[in-house]
Amino acid sequence: MGQVKIALLLAAARDLIANGDVIVTLTGLPVHGMLDTIVVMQVGKEFDLFIMPNGTKEVFPNILPEVLESVIDIAVALGSEGREGKPLGTLFVIGDSERVLSLSRQLILNPFQGYPPTRRNILDPHLIETVKELAAIDGAFVIRGDGVIESAGTYLKTASPEDYRIPQGLGARHHAAAAITGISQSVAITVSQSTGTVTIFRDGKIITELERLRTGSSDRKL
């Protein structure tokens, strides 16, 4: 279902589906080599992504769909493959970057400071390997809604637990993601070092999870 979740998420970001729509998906496990599962869902009931935060009408306000897609693809790749054969965890925060930066501090010197915006945009394919290398550093990436990376190695100040809701047992990275999205108009994407699961947060809560995909799986890239 990983590919289905990503497809629905990106379709929502591009306003291709809306609350109340009925969606039919046909899926199957790669190991079986066939499509054998049909799922029918109504958007807004089975898919809580469409519960809009703070009265907004857009699913991801002020975030370009292609930026969200690029970050998800990087996160899924890191979750599936790690870096140089070693698992790693990381955190991306997209959108409302001024607010996010006002609630953060650097753990290291910002590796993106001083570069022009055109040289530090997540949509630049030449930057992808740099981002993957920097993902091994503690702290978060803070990314503008247009894709410009403002910082890496950034510590996010946590909010009161009343501002976010996540299941027990998740680590500091997930709590930071929930906390920052609970007090800003941002979207956070985490990669779990232990499981490779990619988790997407908005409005202080988890909106979807993508389990680790096998290396080389065709599900990774849409």
- Domains delineated in the chain: 57-210 (3.40.1700.10)
Whether the predicted pLDDT of 19 surpasses 70: yes
Write down how long the chain is: 222
Whether the predicted pLDDT of 196 surpasses 50: yes
Whether the predicted pLDDT of 50 surpasses 80: no
φ, ψ of residue 99 to 5 degrees: the values are -65, -45
- Cβ partners under 8 Å of residue 86, min gap 6: none
Q: What share of the chain is helix, strand, coil (3-state, %, to 5)?
A: 30, 25, 45
For residue 23, give both structure tokens.
């969606």
Give CA 206 to chain center in angstroms: 10
| Percent of the chain residues topping a pLDDT of 70 | 83
> Could you tell me the pLDDT band of residue 9, with boundaries at 50, 70 and 90?
confident
**CA angle at residue 68 from 18 to 201, to 5 degrees?**
75
133/7: higher pLDDT: 133
91-115 per-position pLDDT tens digit: 999 999 999 999 999 999 999 999 9
pLDDT for position 217: 47
Sign of CA dihedral 149, 152, 154, 160: positive
For residue 141, give both structure tokens.
């990436």
219/133: higher pLDDT: 133
CA distance 186 to 156: 13
Whether the predicted pLDDT of 54 surpasses 60: no
57-91 per-position pLDDT tens digit: 566 778 999 999 999 999 999 999 888 888 999 99
> Could you tell me the pLDDT band of residue 165, with boundaries at 50, 70 and 90?
low
φ, ψ of residue 89 to 5 degrees: the values are -120, 150
